[in-house]
Each structure stands twice: as C-alpha cells, then as structure tokens.
Chain A
Amino acid sequence: MQDVISLGVGEPDFVTPWSIRESCVYGLERGYTSYTANRGMPELRNEISRHFVRRHEVEYNPDTEILVTVGVSEALDIALRAIINPGDEVLIPEPCYVSYQACTTFAGGVPVPVPAKIENEFRITPEELQPFLTTKTKAILIGYPNNPTGAIMEREDLQKIADFAEQNDLIVISDEIYGDLTYKGVHECFAALPKMKDRTILLNGFSKAYAMTGWRIGYALGNPDVIGAMTKIHQYTMLCAPITAQLAAVEALRHGEKYMKKMVAEYDRRRKLIYDGFKKLGMDSFEPGGAFYIFPNITSSGLTSEEFAEKLIMSEHVALVPGTAFGKSGAGHVRCSYATGIEKISEALKRIEHFLTKLH
C-alpha cells in the first residue's frame, strides 16, 4: 500500500541524538566490546543514581538498588518473575501496555485488569481497585504517563494509590518510561512519595525520552532484596545489557537532556495540534498529558474500534491501533501516536475527516 500515514507507531520518529550515537561509536573504536558487570557498568549506575537524586530527590544505591536491563521490557519481565508466586494476582489498570498482562501470566501470576474510565481521564483510583482486591493480590502494576491513553497521574492521584498499597501491603511496579514526556506539570515519580521507595519497583529506560528504542536499554530500581532477586534472573538469562547501549546511555544522562527537551517541546506542539484536530472532528478525547498518544472515542462513527481501524487503513491509508489491543476496556477507542511530523498529522486528520463524512 502506498502513501500510508501511520499513527500506529509506538516509538519516536526522531533518531537518537548524534552525540549519543557518537559516544557509542567512539567506545567501539576503543574496543568496548566485552560483557559488563551483571548489574550494568558502574558509570551508568552512578549516572542513574545521580539523575534520580537530582530530578526526584530519591536516592538509590548504585551497588545494590539499580539493575541495568535490556529495555523496560526485560525489567518488567524479571520484576514479575522475581516477586510472583504461582497464583498471585496483579492488579493492572486498563487500557494498558500490551506486555503487562502477558508477562504476569508468563510469571505464573494472574493478571486482574481494572478498567479505568474516560470520565476520570483514565486515571485509576483506590475505589476502582478495591473491588478487585483479594487475599492473593500481590502487586499493582501501573504505567503513567500511559500507553495507550496518554493519561497522567498527578501527585494527589498517586498518593491515593500509595496509601492503598500501604494499607494492603502491595508491591507497586511503576513503569515510568514516558515520565520525561509529561506536558502538563512535571512527572511525579512514584518511588519519591513518602514511604514508597521500599515497596516500589521503578522501571524506566531510554527508549522514549532519548529516542533510543533500538538500543535496548532500560533499568529497574528497588530495594536490595528485589533488585538482588531480579539480578539473579538477569545474570542467568541475559548476563548483561549490551555494552554499546550502556555507553550511549551514559552519554544520554550526562549530556542528553537538552536534546531530549527539544524533542519533548516538539511532541507537545503535535499533541496540541492533534488534540485540537480530533476536537474539531467531534471525536471525544480528553487532553492527553503525557507520552505521545491520544485515545479518542470513536463510538459516534457506529463502528467498533477494530472496524474503524480496518476501514480507515483500507479507504484512507491511515494506520492506527484499535483500543482493544490494550485490553477490553479500550473498546470504542483508537490509539493515535503523534510521534510523527506535523505535516503528516495534519494530512492524517484531513483523511480521517474525509472518512467520517463518507460514513454518514
């Protein structure tokens, strides 16, 4: 199919900033081709530690509380494997990233999806979690800013989840990979909430903020026990994250912020443009506060989200992802990524408008 515009891509359209790429090339030239420590290069763990002190005033010991992984993907997998006993339940607000439920199942756990509501801008509340709580509930797995909804949780929202976790003695896995891509206010780190550092497994990485998806590099932060257990799995299954990517990640943390901020400013403009566009098309959506997705409601088209996505690609050559890919509660929505150029976003909106007028 020709001239497809894709709003279906879950990764940045930018390439990794040159200075980051160059530091990896330089490392290769000097012969950095070996394994690293299982937990990751000390330089990188130190930079990660410093970053969290600077940004969120929460301190992690680089020797015992930080594990460098092959993306958040690996971190998520081994976090669940480290904490789950067979049959343990994990509360997972939905719609959510596609791996959450699958990885829980792989780890022998039982994913318990908890629908978040659009009326509440897809934030999750303790009242919504409460009915799903059982004696088997072990953890809650949250990801804000959220893929696919673009929802963010403000400090008060997170504090309520923190209190809920405390009352019910739950571990919180917080996937904050989109944290730097927060447009309304600043990103609140879950582990930085009072008393939460110990019960949180914080996952983050470089894929989204630094446009480094293909490098495969991320990290997990948590108490020494859980990071120790995760390190055991990691050392036998992965050994270590690629040294090339670790070198690049060090550069990203040391000097990458200005490039990241530029990309964030650009996403923000696109976000406002696409939000305005859907509003004008009469497709309901709340204004997303983070990540690079918008999750408009398409029920007024009379189509299901799968039908909508399929008909749109066939007739207008615009690709997007049906909301149901992110769980049952994504029904009636589609996920549009605005990690694409302004011209393409404008053109896609025109085509969607054409599509909608033909439907009626």
Chain B
Amino acid sequence: MKEILEILEKNARISIGEIAAMLQKSEYEIENEIRRLEKEKIILSYNTLINRELLGEDIVTAIIEINLTPQREVGFDAIAEKIYRFDEVRTVYLMSGNFDLLVIIEGKSLKEISHFVATRLATIEGVTQTRSHFMLKAYKKDGITIENEEEDRRQVISP
C-alpha cells in the first residue's frame, strides 16, 4: 500500500497496468487497493502541479500568519473552519510558535488579497492579528523543483 502511494504521489497519471507490473500484483488487486485508499480518504485527490509563471497567468500568493483567541470547547477548530471555507484560501495549518494559523491565499492582485484579509479574515471573531507576506518566487513545491536545470548529461551509451 505504501508503495502504491509513493508511485501515485510522484505521478498520478500512471496506468494501473504499470503499477501492477512494478509491484508484481494483478491489475485487479491494484485497482481494489486504490479504491479502498480513496474510500478511506487516504488518497484525497489527484492534483496537477502547474508552473503558473510560464502560463503567464497573474496570480498572487500570500502567506498569512493569524493569531487567535481560542474558544471554549472547540479551541481553534471552529475558527479554522470559518477560514478554510473560503475558496480563496488554499491551505490552512495550525502551527506552534508565534502565531496560530498559517493560511495560504491566492488572488489576482495584491489589492484583492489585502482587501480579502482586511474584510473577511481580520473581522472573524477570535482573530486578534494578521500578518501578510506576499510570495515573490517559487523555487520548489511539494518536492518538485520549479526550474530544474539538472538535465540528463550522460552519454547515450556507456559500459
């Protein structure tokens, strides 16, 4: 099972047949296993990592640190939920350290994001402080180097 995940994490488009060959199992077994992993939500989704810079799309990404006052009974979870329900919010982590939530937001412009933070996030009850950092350049994401210059430099035939 761990191996199926490792393979899919690297390339979600790989065929069942190829996975079966690599793990020396039948396609049927692999298919069942993947279905189970999906059902148990161990596999959540199959994503595509896009290099937006090359696409020429103007997208602004901001990382927002948020401080909260925890609420009775539910702690941080209820506020986190209020935040992650927004489509603009791509990622939410509960953190240890100087702030509580790390939120990643995507928008069309700085203005749009600042507006969103000021009017939608900062105003949520329990949010005491926000600090926004705008991302300038992505070098590596989810283990993938964005501009990989390590091309194959080997000779075509070697002993």
Chain A positions near chain B (C-beta within 8 angstroms): 4, 6, 8-11, 13, 15, 97-99, 147, 265, 269-270, 272-273, 275-277, 319, 321, 325, 342-343, 346
Contacts and interface: CB of A to CB of B under 8 A. Distances in A.
Nearest to B14: A342
A343 B23 CA distance: 16
B157 A346 contact: no
22 contacts: A8-B156, A8-B157, A9-B154, A9-B157, A13-B154, A98-B159, A99-B159, A265-B3, A269-B3, A269-B22, A272-B21, A273-B18, A273-B21, A273-B22, A275-B21, A276-B21, A277-B21, A319-B156, A319-B157, A321-B157, A342-B14, A342-B18
B158 A15 contact: no
Contacts of A270: 22
A9 B21 contact: no
Interface string B1-30: 001001100010010001001111000000
B154 A15 contact: no
A6 B156 CA distance: 6
B155 interface: yes
Contact of B158 (A4, A9, A276, A277): A9
A334 B7 CA distance: 28
Interface residues of B, number: 18
Given A98-B159, A272-B23, A272-B24, 5 more contacts: A6-B154, A9-B154, A97-B159, A265-B3, A342-B22
A306 to B, nearest CB: 13
B73 interface: no
A6 B153 CA distance: 12
Contacts of A269: 3, 7, 22-23
A99 B159 CA distance: 9
A273 B15 CA distance: 12
Most buried by B among A8, A98, A147, A275: A8
B53 to A, nearest CB: 24
A10 B159 CA distance: 5
Interface in B34-52: none
A9 B157 CA distance: 5
B152 interface: yes
A261 B83 CA distance: 41
Nearest to B10: A342
Contacts of B158: 8-11
B26 to A, nearest CB: 12
Contacts of A273: 18, 21-22
A4 B154 contact: no
B58 interface: no
B156 A9 contact: yes
